[in-house]
Amino acid sequence: MLNVTIESQFQKISIDNYINIDEQKQIGRQRIWFRTQQPQLPVKIQEHESLKQIISQPLLLTFLRVVFAETGEIPPQRSQLYHAGLQILLKRWHSSKDAKDEILASLSLKQKEDLLTYVAWMTFAQGEYFFKQQQLEQYISDYLQKIFTNQNETETREQAKQVLQSIQAHYGLFTEWTPGIYAFSVLSFHEYLAAKAIVEGYTAQGLEQALKHLVEQLTESRWHQICTLVASMLPNTDYLLLLLKHKIDTLIESQATLQPFLSWLEHQSMNINFAYKPAAIRAFYIECILGRDFEISGTLDSQLSRDLEADSPKLNSAINNIQRCRFSDRQKLALQQYYELSKVLFDSIDAGCVTCSVRDELEQNLFSSEKNTLLLEAIA
């Protein structure tokens, strides 16, 4: 074990660089398989930037391996990879003849997936990334009681122990970090299942209310990836994106000390003598102030990206000028939140299925609080 630190009540645990010896061996075996059996796979991974980091995580390596072996392809989005990999593993789990898995054999494939989704939602919604074994077994027991209504809690609690052991033994979807303390093996898989719970109605709310609740949680950074994952799963993301834009505009309007700068920024983006998209110019200035990479501005405007790479004197002058501006720590914190939420919106636009008119309007109005017709109609 390279690094693991547990604080009071298991709420804060550092997991940086945590890979134990068994995991290192597993990663090594998987990489050897990739090189010798499927030489074209590394090339395909390189085609998908968001999937590259997966090669350091045993569970996700397994997903890559089984999906590629069965389909010959790698899904372009991480959520699609998780869905495909989980479906394949659950089918194999479902068809296994292990006599110890009697309770699991009585669950349908969909019920097994629902069980994992339920546990993911119950833990994530309460901010539980690490949970005691008793609590995990209780969540499993609660789900089993909904399925087997003729059984009492004592029976389902005993069955929950068997289910947990089987999940670990078969696919390592849960990891026991220290004795009696569990977590999903990969945080992003936990997030995927939590997002799936929102889309599929596990939150005991209608989808519209669930999306509104999700947007209200976005002042907490742990919900940012959930929002992008939800966007990637919805058949149409227009409503979610317009809700998010309204949330961003409302938050920034409450920051009175930033209003003079934002007014200047709006004017500058429309009148400056640059042949760039106004939204890209606004993103560029904010990224300069915050010392960020030009991730949003460069993506919004390919010419701006090329000029940045070419070390354009005109852009360098603009950077020097904006960096002379002085912002208080409080203003920078507000601007940082504004940028982070706008990045969630930007990433969700890219991940989701969006109608062309909504996409165009949202991209044109990034980092602008100007009210637009589509937004007003969505929140009415």
Q: Is residue 261 domain-shared with residue 156, that is, in the same domain?
A: no
Instruction: Take residue 207 and report the two structure tokens written for it.
Output: 């989808």
d(CA 281, CA 299): 12
d(CA 327, CA 176): 45
Identify the bridge partners of residue 32 per DSSP, sorted by sequence position.
none
Q: Are residues 296 and 366 in contact, defined by beta-carbon separation less than 8 angstroms?
A: yes
Q: Is residue 23 domain-shared with residue 150, that is, in the same domain?
A: yes
pLDDT band at 237 (very low <50, low <70, confident <90, very high): very high
Q: Is residue 264 domain-shared with residue 166, that is, in the same domain?
A: no
What domain count does the chain have?
2
Q: Is residue 154 domain-shared with residue 64, that is, in the same domain?
A: yes
Burial class (CB in 10 A: 0-12, 13-18, 19+), 136: buried
d(CA 293, CA 309): 12
d(CA 217, CA 325): 32
pLDDT at 66: 81
pLDDT at 2: 34
Residue 124 lies in a domain: yes
Residue 230 lies in a domain: no
Q: Is residue 183 domain-shared with residue 295, that is, in the same domain?
A: no
Give the domain range for residue 49. 5-187
Mean pLDDT of 271-288: 90
| pLDDT exceeds 70 at position 17 | no
Q: Is residue 162 domain-shared with residue 22, that is, in the same domain?
A: yes
Bridging pattern class, strands 131-132 and 13-14: unpaired
pLDDT at 270: 87
d(CA 218, CA 206): 19
Residue 224 lies in a domain: no
d(CA 245, CA 47): 31
Q: At what angle do helices 207-216 and 187-199 cross, to 10 degrees?
A: 140
Instruction: Take residue 38 and report the two structure tokens written for it.
Output: 């499927």
Question: Which of 187, 203, 226 marks a domain boundary?
Answer: 187
**In the block, residue with structure tokens 């597993």:** 26
Q: Are residues 26 and 18 in contact, defined by beta-carbon separation less than 8 angstroms?
A: no
Mean pLDDT of 206-213: 92
Q: Which of 167, 196, 171 is nearest to 104 (CA)?
A: 167
Q: Is residue 176 domain-shared with residue 56, that is, in the same domain?
A: yes
Q: Is residue 183 domain-shared with residue 272, that is, in the same domain?
A: no
Distances (CA, A) of 195 to 64, 78, 344, 348: 20, 12, 14, 13
**In the block, residue with structure tokens 């982070």:** 340
Residue 205 lies in a domain: no
Total count of residues recorded for the chain: 380
Lowest mean pLDDT among 125-139, 223-237, 260-274, 354-368: 260-274
Coil, helix or strand at residue 184: strand
Q: Is residue 74 domain-shared with residue 165, that is, in the same domain?
A: yes
d(CA 222, CA 12): 13
Residue 23 lies in a domain: yes
Question: Which of 187, 219, 239 marks a domain boundary?
Answer: 187
DSSP string for residues in 149-179: TTS-HHHHHHHHHHHHHHHHHHH--EEEEET
Q: What is the pLDDT of residues 284-315, one digit of tens each?
A: 999 999 999 999 999 999 999 999 888 888 88
d(CA 338, CA 257): 14
pLDDT at 5: 35
More confident position, 82 or 354: 354
Mean pLDDT of 33-62: 58
Residue 240 lies in a domain: no
Q: Is residue 32 domain-shared with residue 145, that is, in the same domain?
A: yes
Question: Which of 142, 157, 187 marks a domain boundary?
Answer: 187
Residue 51 lies in a domain: yes
Check the CA dihedral 200-203-204-210 and report its sign. Answer: negative
Residue 266 lies in a domain: yes
Mean pLDDT of 2-27: 39
**Mean pLDDT of all residues belonging to the chain:** 82
d(CA 146, CA 141): 9
Burial 11-33 (b: 16+ CB within 10 A, else e): eebebeeebeeebeebbeebeee
Residues sharing a CB contact under 8 Å with residue 234, sequence separation 6 or more, in sequence order: 199, 240, 352, 353
pLDDT band at 41 (very low <50, low <70, confident <90, very high): low
Q: Is residue 183 domain-shared with residue 266, that is, in the same domain?
A: no
Q: Is residue 179 domain-shared with residue 266, that is, in the same domain?
A: no
| pLDDT exceeds 60 at position 154 | yes
Lowest mean pLDDT among 6-20, 99-113, 196-210: 6-20
Report which residue type is found at 82: Y
